[in-house]
Amino acid sequence: MLKNNILIIEDDKSINDLISSLLKDEYTVYQAFTAKEGLSLVSSNTIDVIILDLGLPDLDGIDVIIKIRKSMTTPIIVVSARNFESDIVKALDLGADDYLIKPFRNNELKSRVKIAIRHSISNNIINFDMTFKYMNFKIDYDKALVYVDNKLIPITSNEYRILAILTKNAGKVLTYDYILKAIWGPNAGESNSSLRVHMANIRRKIEVNPADPQFIITHVGIGYSFNL
């Protein structure tokens, strides 16, 4: 079977080598130590997932995302030090798909890469499909209906719109700001707390145990993602 290609853009050689050693059995790994090297590898190879450090010596990781997103939808997992939530939010709003906070657990890295690859595959499928299914959850975009265990779930139009945007981006972390703007427009003045209220209502309706959600994952201080 053909291996998926992973590109690591990270200037810290020990971290770059560590990530590479964790992934190289399962994937073909390309290593870049500068933004310039990374961008040149992206344009000359078919890359399936990019793991990007935000603190690079020659160019800010944020600018790397902007450059890549001008022409490519390749999933980008941002790697950042702790306490840089605002950088992560910025990276996600500019088109990064997911993030890892250093130091991360080895298994966490592997599972994020797996999700990103599934996300890049399902991107293509969802565009042609009018329904999205995950475990016992189903959403019908054509009729704007939501089902759990094949039972119709009564939801409001805002709840449906939140679920639609999360499932259409399943596996990708959407920031509070992104969701608020997408649902209520840029000037609606809705706050994170009203989004939290909607999310609590949605979870009560679709989750078996809203305190331990299977479908919608909370990223504290950052946003939400739909599980994949």
Residue with Cβ nearer Ca ion (31 or 169): 31
Residue with Cβ nearer Ca ion (32 or 183): 32
CA distance 159 to 141: 13
Q: Cβ-closest residue to Ca ion?
A: 55
Pick from 70, 23, 82, 116: which is nearest to 220 by CA? 82
Residue with Cβ nearer Ca ion (55 or 95): 55
Chain residues in the site for Ca ion (CB under 5 A): 11, 53, 55
Contact 141, 132 (CB under 8 A): yes
Least distance (Å) from Ca ion to the CB of residue 12?
A: 5
The beta-carbon contacts of 141-146 under 8 Å, at least 24 apart in sequence, are 141/168, 146/206
Least distance (Å) from Ca ion to the CB of residue 55?
A: 4
Contact 103, 115 (CB under 8 A): no
Least distance (Å) from Ca ion to the CB of residue 101?
A: 14
Residue with Cβ nearer Ca ion (14 or 187): 14
Least distance (Å) from Ca ion to the CB of residue 183?
A: 35
